[in-house]
Amino acid sequence: MRKKKILVLLVIAGLITLFFYFDLEKFLTLAALKANRDALAEFYLRHRFAAIVIFITVYIVQTALSLPGAAILSLAAGAIFGTVMGTVYVNIGATAGATVSFVVARYLFHDLVQKKFGPRLEQVNKELETRGFNYLLFLRLVPLFPFFLINLAAGLTKMRLRTFLLGTMVGIIPGSFVYCNAGAGLATIRGLGEIVSPRVLGSFALLGLFSLIPVLYQKIRKK
């Protein structure tokens, strides 16, 4: 079992190394997307199914390996597929990739963490088992927490896979829609900082707080 875990770690490290060795990040920039937008759109018109499958696969790999470029991929989805369908494809890719990351983290490190810190994490695990969906929804909606860290950290707890999958799928819809909608008007974007305004961030934070209302209500009721 230990050899299998080491092999998985080596494969992951190898894939990440290849990504940076071949400088694939240069294709995941706003300038590169604008330069190749017409070619990508034409490919989609000629090979619709293949374009969708390739895009979702790339998004899964990017998310599962915690590689840079999620924002550019989401913009690309809006530019190529349109706001609505782009949001759907981003949601599928990001949710699947996050789930892979969650499962791998659980397979590699869950037992070790629980064995070493089990007593200290008992209350945390209990909360996540009963109200994990609300907490995860808050973390997904409030854009203060890195996406990949949430995937890895959740895998080390006793959160149910079904809860993680559903919470991720629902929680990333607003953010995915904002980026895909921006991608649909790609020509007007001069920088990634223009996409998410303070007002949008505030709206996300408010949605995140609403997701915690059932948790707060239950705690108050108990007291």
Which has the higher per-residue pLDDT, 170 or 187? 170
Q: For the segment 73-84, what is each residue's pLDDT rounded down to a tens digit?
A: 999 999 999 999
Question: What mean pLDDT value characterizes the chain?
Answer: 91
Single pTM value for the model: 0.93
Give pLDDT, residue 139: 92
* Cα 116 off chain centre by: 28
121-157 pLDDT tens trace: 777 778 887 889 999 999 999 877 899 999 999 999 8
Give Cβ neighbours of residue 50 (< 8 Å, ≥ 6 apart). none
Report pLDDT for 17: 97
Q: What percent of the chain has pLDDT over 70?
A: 99
pLDDT of residue 223: 67
| pLDDT at residue 1 is higher than 70 | no
Q: Is the pLDDT of residue 68 over 90?
A: yes
Say if residue 113's pLDDT is above 90: no
Three-state DSSP class for residue 66: coil
* Span of 42-56, 86-100, 167-181, 182-196 with lowest mean pLDDT: 182-196
From first CA to last CA, the distance across the chain in angstroms is 46
How confident is the model at residue 55, as a pLDDT?
A: 98
Place of tokens 């999958």: 165
pLDDT of 112: 82
pLDDT at 46 over 70: yes
Q: Which range is least confidently modeled, 13-22, 24-33, 99-108, 141-150? A: 141-150
- Residue in 198, 204, 208 with CA at minimum distance from that of residue 177: 204
52-65 pLDDT, tens digit per residue, is 999 999 999 999 99
201-221 burial code (b ≥16 CB/10 A, e <16): eeebeebbeebbeebeeeeee
